[in-house]
Amino acid sequence: MEIKRKKKIDTIFITYLAVFLGQCALLAAAAYIALNIMINTGFLQPAVYTLNQLEAASGAIRESRNVGKDIIPDGAGYGVYDAEGNYLYGSYGKEEQKKAWKYKESGNTQPGLKTFYRFIEREGGETCIIRYDILAQFADPSLRERLPNAEWLFCAVILAVFLLQTAWTARSFGSYLSRRLKTLNEATDRIKESNLEFGREYSDIREIDDVLESLFRMKEALKESLEEQWKSEEMKKEQVAALAHDIKTPLTVIRGNAELIHETSCDPDVKEYNRYVTDSVKEIEEYLLILQETLRSEGGRQEEKKRLCTEAFIGQLSEKAESLGIGKKIKVETHIDAAGTDLWVQEAKLYRAFMNILANAVEYTPDSGSIFIDTRVKRTGSERWLETVVTDNGPGFTKEELKAASDQFFQGDRSRHRRGHYGMGLYIADSFIRQQGGTMEADNSPETGGARIKVRIPLYIG
């Protein structure tokens, strides 16, 4: 539901600033009232308390025979000097004795920010120099001794409260914006996760609402684009699948006529040409099968993963390789060193992946050649892998073929008697193996010179 009243960020900031300044004014008023209450109740002495006491005692200090602590205001220091500046008696230490007389000679009565000197001339040429502070003080002498100066302590408390208030205001403003930005973050997270099924979101902040509107328009455009792309891809897949099916009809006619010619013709040249035709038909049919398998691999219901015994699975592959190579009298040598291990995979997809690898190996292994299947457990840090290496002694891969070994529609150069259509088969195998969390690598065997495919699948850890 759209939020009708929208505020701008600068308006929100000014509102928080006004609240902050109002709180500062209340803090200042509260501090002023508290200070007056403490002074009126006698808990604190006002800043001019010592000065007033000194004014009242000035006559006694001037006329008394000896100046004692009893006539000096509480909290003040004093020293009596002769006409030559010699210290006679008082409460000053050695450093203060010299310092006070220097201020007397210079006529400076303020050595510090709130510290003052009063010079009172006495009979006989003596001078009484009194040091006092114009600061609020605790009325209780014991508090003055144990605690810092009351005025500085009061200012420190006010500063601490001010800092806490500032921090609270900043946190409150940040939390307010964070709550409003949460809607924006949720929208971007949905788009990032490719979840485009959500409605228009709204915010009571105009700038955030503008961004949400832009995100919504972008989401709708992206959704429409993806839907069109998906429909286009589905249409292409359907057209290709239909075309692959329709091609089978003329191929059947060609194959039937070729077989008829082979049976009825006695001309050796005709039979040789006819063999080229039947071989080409067979090759086209293989292309169609691979094409259909590729289309099936890109869609459909996902197969559930299950636990698979490694030895039984590799044994099954070995038997299948032997049956594939029986016509060419290919020898299959299998070595399994993975006793007691299991896989957690989609069995049908993994089987199809290996069948593509084995079919390629059989096709390009010469008559009476050999295919080697070596399976063993490998460790990488804390991970355990099942590594299966399929090696043949055929012509192997060229450099160009190795670079494009897993490209979907790459084909080698048939004129060089290399692997003419291995690309789609290895693409399918690589795709299925990656879906099981594994990897596939293609290279040439230094021992046989033929192609070598290395597959790694993570082992099941129960």
d(C-alpha 303, C-alpha 293), whole Å: 15
And the tokens for 320?
A: 């299948």
DSSP H/E element including 44? strand 44-45
CA angle 11, 15, 21 (to 5 degrees): 140
Handedness of CA 334, 340, 345, 347 (dihedral sign): positive
Q: What is the DSSP string of 299-332?
A: SSPPPPPEEEEHHHHHHHHHHHHHHHTGGGT-EE
Within 10 angstroms of residue 92's Cβ, the number of other Cβ atoms is 20
DSSP 376: E
Cα–chain center distance at 412: 43
**What is the pTM for the complete model shown?**
0.44
Q: Which residues are paired to 379 by β-bridges?
A: 384
Residue type at position 61: I
Cα–Cα distances in angstroms (integers) from residue 65 to residues 32, 119, 432, in the given order: 43, 17, 113
pLDDT by 10s per residue, the chain, length 462: 454 577 787 888 888 888 889 888 988 888 888 878 887 887 887 878 888 888 888 888 888 888 888 888 887 899 999 988 899 999 999 889 989 999 988 888 888 888 899 999 888 889 999 999 888 877 777 777 787 777 788 888 888 888 998 899 888 888 888 887 787 787 787 777 777 777 777 777 788 778 878 878 887 888 888 888 888 888 888 887 778 777 877 888 887 888 888 788 777 877 777 777 887 787 778 777 767 776 776 655 566 889 999 999 999 999 888 888 888 899 999 999 998 899 999 988 898 899 889 988 998 899 999 999 999 999 887 889 999 999 999 888 888 777 765 554 444 444 333 444 445 678 888 888 999 999 999 999 999 999 999 999 999 876
Pairing type for strands 331-337 and 370-380 reads: parallel
Cα–Cα distances in angstroms (integers) from residue 352 to residues 209, 316, 418, in the given order: 52, 12, 23
Q: Which residues contact 169 (CB under 8 A, 6 or more apart)?
A: 16, 19, 20, 23
Which residue has tokens 């200090």? Answer: 61
CB of 129 within 8 A of CB of 111? no
